[in-house]
């Protein structure tokens, strides 16, 4: 229960999105200094460094690149902090995915320097959020950290996004689809948001979360089809905005609930580690709707959408066997080691969560079977 009548809203200083926007990076670097440390995802490192050499030529800005080691853990942060101190950078730039972005936020916090985020896909809302996940080197999340500042700039090049694997785009929609559902739950339970010590959400935040959902339903299917052909369209731009900006502002200013709480439990299962954040959130949305007894028409609309954009709706699709051992681990972590599930305006206990997971799995298998029968 929120103990304050005050409301609050937080966001990045600027958000810029469009095709070819990476070319404007030197201009924005020069606004904060002349020397940048650029942390780049390892799998795009060669391509990006070649591109940067061309766009930084004759700009007066200098930079040093580093390849991200793959995990947002303290050793990665410490390594980069030492390198930046030795190099004397004025700011840090991130070009990459969620964990590269989280690491960059933690580095910027440690050094109290500006940060520019250039996401390489639209797979998460991490670019615009003021939270950063800290993980163990083996990939298990330790905690989410509120950073001292929001990013000075989020710069999204939609041409880079559409050339990333389409699976990442789908996962971003899974994560974004939870935004309005969780905003609604937090509003009903008077749960504080993630701004400062936690406040009531603004009406603006609730409107943003709702619009995020509507964009996905309206444009998500056609946008994914375009991304699979590496095409930038208006629908693609709309979904990039929903996945990145609206989802990020929505969850930070309204909060997370059961979908992300159950996601945390699913993440404890080793066989599911190869699946993306948004893929696990997608199935967790079904679990959340079961807990909330969501009206059947809304549930039907949501499940059909998730299937249409290639997202998992069963445990089996996440490579999770519904064994007693796995269920106990998922439920224990969800209920006893993560408070997000308790943001729901409903009674929560281990039995309720366990039953919801199994019911959601059964529901998902029913929808898959029905679709397969229709297609044949």
Q: pLDDT tens-digit profile of 62-93?
A: 999 999 988 898 999 999 999 999 999 999 99
**Residue 244 and residue 354: Cα distance in Å, rounded?**
31
Beta bridge partners of 2: none
Beta bridge partners of 90: none
Inter-residue contact 96 to 44 (CB < 8 Å): yes
The reply to whether 260 belongs to the active site is yes
Catalytic-role residue among 125, 175, 219, 361? 175
The reply to whether 273 belongs to the active site is no
Inter-residue contact 169 to 123 (CB < 8 Å): yes
**Residue 338 and residue 346: Cα distance in Å, rounded?**
16
Q: What are the two backbone dihedrals, phi and then psi, of residue 95, each rounded to the nearest 5 degrees?
A: -125, 105
* Helix, strand, or coil (residue 18): strand
- What pLDDT does residue 332 have? 98
Inter-residue contact 350 to 304 (CB < 8 Å): no
User: Is the confidence at residue 139, as pLDDT, over 80?
Assistant: no
CATH of 166-375, one of 1.20.58.710, 3.40.50.720, 3.50.50.60, 1.20.1090.10: 1.20.1090.10
- What pLDDT does residue 143 have? 81
Q: 359 falls in which pLDDT band (50, 70, 90)? A: very high
Quote the DSSP letter at residue 207. Answer: H
User: Is the confidence at residue 370, as pLDDT, over 70?
Assistant: yes
- What pLDDT does residue 375 have? 79
**How many beta carbons lie within 10 A of that of residue 136, not counting itself?**
12
Catalytic-role residue among 102, 125, 277, 343? 277
Beta bridge partners of 154: 15, 117
User: Is the confidence at residue 373, as pLDDT, over 90?
Assistant: no
The reply to whether 342 belongs to the active site is no
Inter-residue contact 339 to 262 (CB < 8 Å): no
**pLDDT tens for each residue of 154-210:** 999 999 999 999 999 999 999 999 999 999 999 999 999 999 999 999 999 999 999
* Helix, strand, or coil (residue 255): coil
CATH of 7-162, one of 3.40.50.1970, 3.40.920.10, 3.40.190.10, 3.90.226.10: 3.40.50.1970
Catalytic-role residue among 102, 125, 263, 361? 263
Residue ranges per domain, the chain? 7-162, 166-375
- What pLDDT does residue 246 have? 98
Identical fold, 7-162 and 166-375: no
Q: Where are the alpha helices (DSSP H) in 33-165?
A: 45-55, 74-87, 98-111, 158-162
Catalytic-role residue among 41, 109, 260, 333? 260
Strands 141-146 and 131-135: antiparallel
Query: What angle (nearest 5°) sits at the alpha carbon of residue 221, between those of residues 220 and 224?
Result: 80
Inter-residue contact 193 to 256 (CB < 8 Å): no
From the list 89, 86, 74, 77, the residue with the least C-alpha distance to 36 is: 89
Beta bridge partners of 37: 64, 92
Residues 6+ apart with CB under 8 A from 328: none
């Amino acid at each position: 229960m929120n103990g304050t009548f005050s409301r609050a809203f937080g966001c990045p200083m600027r958000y810029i999105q469009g095709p070819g926007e990476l070319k404007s990076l030197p201009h924005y670097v020069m606004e904060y200094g002349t020397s940048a440390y650029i942390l780049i995802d390892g799998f795009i490192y060669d391509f990006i460094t070649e591109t940067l050499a061309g766009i930084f030529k004759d700009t007066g800005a200098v930079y040093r690149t580093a390849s991200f080691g793959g995990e947002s853990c303290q050793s990665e942060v410490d390594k980069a902090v030492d390198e930046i101190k030795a190099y004397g950078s004025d700011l840090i730039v991130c070009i990459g995915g969620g964990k590269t972005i989280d690491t960059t936020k933690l580095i910027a916090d440690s050094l109290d320097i500006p940060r520019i985020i250039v996401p390489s896909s639209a797979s998460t809302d991490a670019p615009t959020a003021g939270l950063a996940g800290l993980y163990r080197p083996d990939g298990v999340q330790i905690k989410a950290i509120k950073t001292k500042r929001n990013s000075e700039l989020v710069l999204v090049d939609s041409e880079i996004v559409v050339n990333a694997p389409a699976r990442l785009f789908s996962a971003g929609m899974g994560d974004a689809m939870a935004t309005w559902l969780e905003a609604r739950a937090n509003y009903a339970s008077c749960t504080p948001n993630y701004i400062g010590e936690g406040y009531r959400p603004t009406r603006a935040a609730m409107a943003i979360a709702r619009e995020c959902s509507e964009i996905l339903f309206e444009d998500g299917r056609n946008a994914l089809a375009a991304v699979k052909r590496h095409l930038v369209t208006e629908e693609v731009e709309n979904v990039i905005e929903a996945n990145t900006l609206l989802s990020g502002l929505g969850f930070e200013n309204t909060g997370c609930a059961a979908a992300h709480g159950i996601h945390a439990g699913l993440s404890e299962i080793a066989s599911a580690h190869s699946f993306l954040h948004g893929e696990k959130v997608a199935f967790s949305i079904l679990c959340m709707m079961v807990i909330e007894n969501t009206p059947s028409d809304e549930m039907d609309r949501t499940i059909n959408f998730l299937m249409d954009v290639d997202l998992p709706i069963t445990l089996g699709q996440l490579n999770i066997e519904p064994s007693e051992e796995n269920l106990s681990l998922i439920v224990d972590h969800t209920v006893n080691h993560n408070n997000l599930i308790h943001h729901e305006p409903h009674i929560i206990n281990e039995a309720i969560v366990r039953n919801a997971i199994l019911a959601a799995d059964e529901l998902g298998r029913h929808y898959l079977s029905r679709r397969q029968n229709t297609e044949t």
